[in-house]
Structure formats: C-alpha cells, structure tokens
Structure 1
C-alpha cells in the first residue's frame, strides 16, 4: 500500500506547467513502472476526480479535484494574510499569545501565531495539532460547523473515546449561542484561552482566533476586557474576509 502511494505521488510529480498531460508510455519511460501498475493508479485517480483522460488521444491531465483543493489552499493563504495584521494588533493590546487555527478532521491545527512578549506566556508552534474537543480553539471550530457535520464528528469522538459525550454536546450548544468560548486549564493546566470563530464571505466558519495566557494574569475586569478585545478582532477579520454581520 505504501509503495502504491509512493508511485502515485511520483506520477503526479511529472505534471508541470510545461507538461500538462501525460501518456502511459511517457510515465513508463520516466519512472520505469510497469504499465499495468500505471494504469491501475491512473484509474484510481480518475475515479476520484484527480485525473481526467482524453478519449481521443488517451492522454491524462489533472482533474477538477486538484482545482478544488488548490482553491482551498489559496483561500487559507489569503485568510492568514488577512488575519495577521489584526493578530499583531490584538497581541499588542492584550500582551498575550494569539493563534490562528483551522479544522482538520478531528483536530485543530495552528497555521499562524503571535507570541506574547512577556516572560511567562503560552507557548505555541505553527503546525501544532490538538484534538478538536479539548480547549477553546478546537471547541469553537466544532461548535460552528453545520449541524450534520458537528454531529458526525461528535459521534466519531465518542467512538474513539469509548463513552458518551453529553457534556461536550452541551458545551457546543452553549458556545454557539454565546459566539465565543472561554476555558481555564482545560487542555493546558494553569492557562486560559478565549476563542472566537472567523467567517468567510459565504458565512462559513473558515477558522478560529484564540487569545491565550497564564491564569495568574487574569482578574474579573481583565477577563471581560480580553473577551471583548478578542470578539472585536474576530469580527474585524471576518468583515475583511467578506462576511457581513447584518445578515
């Protein structure tokens, strides 16, 4: 199976801006792979929409599924560049760590971050991956999925953990109603996190922005200040992504 995936990627890597279509004989010559293997891999890719075959000359080109994935990737890049100035301003005003997250299956992944300049701070790395059901950053993403997608993921979480997630379901309903979430020590002991969703022009949740720091810096007054600061930043980012709060 691993060898088949490796060969698949080798075939896909042959496509370039100068060579947008390939014949089986060209792939065989370039990679020294048996024709039967090449045909099987191309057939699998074609069935998935990743490859299209020209019936007239029997050459293969990249399919529409790659365009879809490329569009998602470009959207994420634009999303990050739009959010970054607001993240920097939020970090400056709050003196806390700010992170940008997206959902990936049952995980949330950090795709951008601004570190707090204070000595005691939350440590975050771009690329960090954590379970979506633990902590503010993941829960806000899960809570703002369409109902059917949220339920599907919660059912899978229940299956993985081997027990019902009644409290998680209750938390998600409350989070969606409030429009943000605030946690203390839920994933990292001694820390707090505030997270809000980010919406694109279609009103879909594209990611989340999180403000996090040590609980020792919290007071009731500062907690309220940081929540308002985070929510306003999230709204500014969403507006710049084309979302209208008047809808």
Structure 2
C-alpha cells in the first residue's frame, strides 16, 4: 500500500465516538509522524472536505464528506446481512436457536434464523407470523416503538382475547427500563426466549433478536450468561448499523 495512504488512514483511525476532535500534538503523540507530514495530510483532506478545522481552537474533526459517504453506506445496509454473522456467533457460543423478527401491525414475523445444532431445540420458520402480545420477541418489538406507533399497535392488540391494557403498559415500561425481555413458557410451553431490540442509525427500532430454547437447559447461571451474550450481540449489530447507544440496563438487573 502507498505509504501516504497508510499515514492518512492511521490519522483517520484516531477519531472515535469518544474522541471526535484532535489536535496536531495529539496526532503526533499517537502516530509519531513529523508535524510537517501531519500538516500535509490534514491540509489535503481539508481541501476535499474530509477534514474540518475549528478556527478558534485549531482542533480537527471529520468533515461533511464522511457524513455523505456514511449516509450512502447506511442506505445500502441490509440489517439481516449485518445481523447474520453475529447470530451465527451467538449460536456457536450458546448452542441455542437465534432468530431475527420484525413487527407488522400487531404481529411479529421471523425474517432470519440460525438453528441450534442440538437435537432438542426451538423450532421456528422464516416467515412465521405470531401475535406480538405474547413472547419476548414480539413484546420487545412493541416496547421500543415510538410513542405514536406504540399507540397504533396497542389499538390493534386490544382486539385480542383476554387483553389487559393496564398490565401490558406496565410490562412495556419494565422492558423499556431493562432493555430486553426474558420469558418462560409464555407462548410455547417448555421453552424460553430472550429478546433485545435492534436500533438503527436513525435511532429507530427496526427488529428484535432472540435466543430461544428448551427450559430444561436453563440454570440461574446460564440465564445470566445467555442474557449477557445476547445483549452484547445486539449492541454489536446496532453499532454496525450506526447506533451507538445502549438501552440495556444490565447493572440494575444484577448481570454486570
């Protein structure tokens, strides 16, 4: 690779969500490049709007071109393609089935899955449609909707038999607070499900990711392990989609 490009990428790699601006001295300390080289790199990128300098404090930040390119990249992302390798890793780590669901009106629909390698496992088909009223996958999808969409979905759920609106709203607040849901035998007797939201760069909930399997494999220690693995996996998917927040409240639930 061209040495000039290597140095340019080394400088760009110093920017992060925690460090959005850099000074010349900070770049020199991190890279050990001569100041003349750093000036040349920054001036070139600034000329093409990839870097911007604050004239008051002389610190450098990423320029508009990166926002433009990032928007193009985000537009080309298929969240299923982003999620699939992480889902496969979760299955490797847990030996349980992992599925990806979206919300359609008041139903959750499976759009991707990776099966457990074990003989006794949770069974789901891509395209399966179930009410979002029961089960972790559907309830997480409802809990993280915008207020307007939540009320619309709630109106559809009211037609379901034995629907208790006050109880459901309370449950949604609990899920919002802890950032995930864990159910046992709620939709399928003898099975469990843990689900987390998938949020994109627009801070919109677009899907839920779920670990599901037979209750007989659960222990208190394994429950904690599964929740932690799923939360970390869902956070990685969100970050790859451009969302760097984390609605998960593991500390308050004794998991961290």
TM-score (normalizing by structure 1): 0.67
User: Does the 8 A contact of 2:116 with 2:122 survive in 1?
Assistant: yes
- Runs (5+) with no aligned partner, structure 1: 1-73
Task: Quote the residue 1:147 is aligned against.
Answer: 147
Report the more deviating stretch, 211-220 or 164-173: 164-173
- Specify the SS of the correspondent of 1:101: strand
Distance (whole Å) between structure 2 residues aligned to residue 246 and residue 235 of structure 1: 7
- Specify the SS of the correspondent of 2:81: helix
Shift of 1:148: 2.1
Task: Quote the residue 2:83 is aligned against.
Answer: 83
Distance (whole Å) between structure 2 residues aligned to residue 183 and residue 228 of structure 1: 15
Map 1:56-71 → 2, pairs under 5 A: none
Shift of 1:152: 2.1
Shift of 1:211: 0.2
- Runs (5+) with no aligned partner, structure 2: 1-73, 248-256
Task: Quote the residue 1:184 is aligned against.
Answer: 184
- Specify the SS of the correspondent of 2:159: helix
Map 1:90-109 → 2, pairs under 5 A: 90-109=90-109
Relative to structure 1, the CA distance from residue 190 to residue 182 in structure 2 (aligned partners, 3 Å threshold; closer, same or farther) is same
Map 1:152-167 → 2, pairs under 5 A: 152-161=152-161, 163-167=163-167
Alpha-carbon deviations, 1:206-245, whole Å to 9, x = none?
1010000000000000000000000000000000011122
Alpha-carbon deviations, 1:2-60, whole Å to 9, x = none?
xxxxxxxxxxxxxxxxxxxxxxxxxxxxxxxxxxxxxxxxxxxxxxxxxxxxxxxxxxx
Distance (whole Å) between structure 1 residues aligned to residue 223 and residue 232 of structure 2: 14
Shift of 1:159: 3.0
Distance (whole Å) between structure 2 residues aligned to residue 186 and residue 246 of structure 1: 26
Shift of 1:77: 7.1
Q: What RMSD over aligned residues (CA atoms) do the two structures have, in Å?
A: 1.9
User: Does the 8 A contact of 2:77 with 2:241 survive in 1?
Assistant: no
- Specify the SS of the correspondent of 1:161: coil
Shift of 1:163: 4.8
Task: Quote the residue 1:49 is aligned against.
Answer: none
Number of equivalent positions = 174
Shift of 1:147: 1.5
Distance (whole Å) between structure 1 residues aligned to residue 75 and residue 191 of structure 2: 31
Task: Quote the residue 2:116 is aligned against.
Answer: 116
Relative to structure 1, the CA distance from residue 75 to residue 222 in structure 2 (aligned partners, 3 Å threshold; closer, same or farther) is farther
